[in-house]
Structure 1
């Protein structure tokens, strides 16, 4: 779907301009996206395998849920919408913990220049994998992977052909934040 997105400046600030997503990708204009990483209390992370028909990174494993922010849409509302669309889960704003904003540029065949500011969130997954409903046009498969294995495969990008190349710093930040949340909830539970 070719939705309207906000165009950002090089620092990630709104410019007041909008464009179709296809135009932003063709011209390399910066725009906002959301990434939501779900994790379980027993130390697993939810991964999404991108659909085979995706124009970028088909069949690679990626963030639990990701998508573009529509023009004028608040960031957290975009995250909630994308979670509902891609995995059929309803969450609340309070379920999202923002950990960072990452600037990323990827050049793809067919003249696509993805210049995005990823607003990255964590959220606890409180339902079983079997209760999630994947959006067929976006998601090929969903899996829960132990955080330690995920860290080993992404930190040094030891398995670059398996994951979307967000970069070691990105993956390290996500893994450390999830680890901190799991340990924090365990300590609170033990107290």
Structure 2
């Protein structure tokens, strides 16, 4: 992250109401803003999990989905996914496809720091091994999707609060993540279209 990276602030309808420096957004009164999550799969349908770097402001050291982040002003979430996959994991996706256009969540860390995001969820498929950037990622591991879903549902895997909410919605799309039908981009928040 550069010191002047900005996030897109949103109203309750998902419309842009301005921008703010990323470094100042997350706190006890985090405003609603635009983000994304992406689940990366290999050709066998395994999902790539990543552990957030221990110096991250929000959920440091926590295991989560493959990559998360914030679109820059004027950047689509799909473009942001491609940018962050390269930066965080050294990956190039064959395709970045929208799965959950209207996902949103609010979560509070033990120290009172709040995440408050409209966060469309994407699927990407790769055929290469990740090369994690230690500034962003503390570790990675591949896991069969079925096992991952089972462990999240059973509380057997300590995972980010957004992934806990996203996984059941993704599982509802079908048992094989490689055959999920992409969602309609018209269902994205207006600021993400």
How does the TM-score come out when normalised to structure 1?
0.81
The residue number in structure 2 matching 1:159 is 156
Given the superposition, is the C-alpha separation of residues 184 and 117 from structure 1 closer, same or farther in structure 2, using an over 3 Å criterion?
A: closer
Relative to its length, the structure with more helix (as a share) is: 1
Secondary structure of 2:8 counterpart: strand
The residue number in structure 2 matching 1:175 is 171
CA distance in 2, matches of 1:10, 1:49: 30
Secondary structure of 2:79 counterpart: helix
Secondary structure of 1:153 counterpart: helix
Q: What's the CA shift for 1:154?
A: 0.9
For residues 95-143 of structure 1, the C-alpha deviation after alignment (integer angstroms, 9 at most, x for no partner) is 011011311112235553211111110112222x3xx211101101111
Listed as ranges, the matches of 1:139-158 within 5 Å are 139-156=137-154, 158=155
The residue number in structure 1 matching 2:108 is 107
The residue number in structure 2 matching 1:88 is 90
- Whether 1:136 aligns to 2:130 is no
- Gapped regions of structure 2 (runs ≥ 5): 182-193
Secondary structure of 1:179 counterpart: coil
The residue number in structure 2 matching 1:55 is 57
Q: What's the CA shift for 1:18?
A: 1.1
For residues 51-92 of structure 1, the C-alpha deviation after alignment (integer angstroms, 9 at most, x for no partner) is 112222222211111111112222211111011101111236
Larger Rg: 1
Contact 2:106 2:115 in 1 (8 A): yes
Contact 2:45 2:177 in 1 (8 A): no
- Whether 1:38 aligns to 2:40 is yes
CA distance in 2, matches of 1:168, 1:113: 16
CA distance in 2, matches of 1:33, 1:98: 13
The residue number in structure 1 matching 2:97 is 97
Given the superposition, is the C-alpha separation of residues 178 and 137 from structure 1 closer, same or farther in structure 2, using an over 3 Å criterion?
A: farther
Secondary structure of 2:61 counterpart: coil
Q: How many residues align?
A: 177
**Considering only aligned residues, what root-mean-square deviation do their CA atoms show, in Å?**
2.3
Mean alpha-carbon deviation: is it higher for 169-178 or for 50-59? 169-178
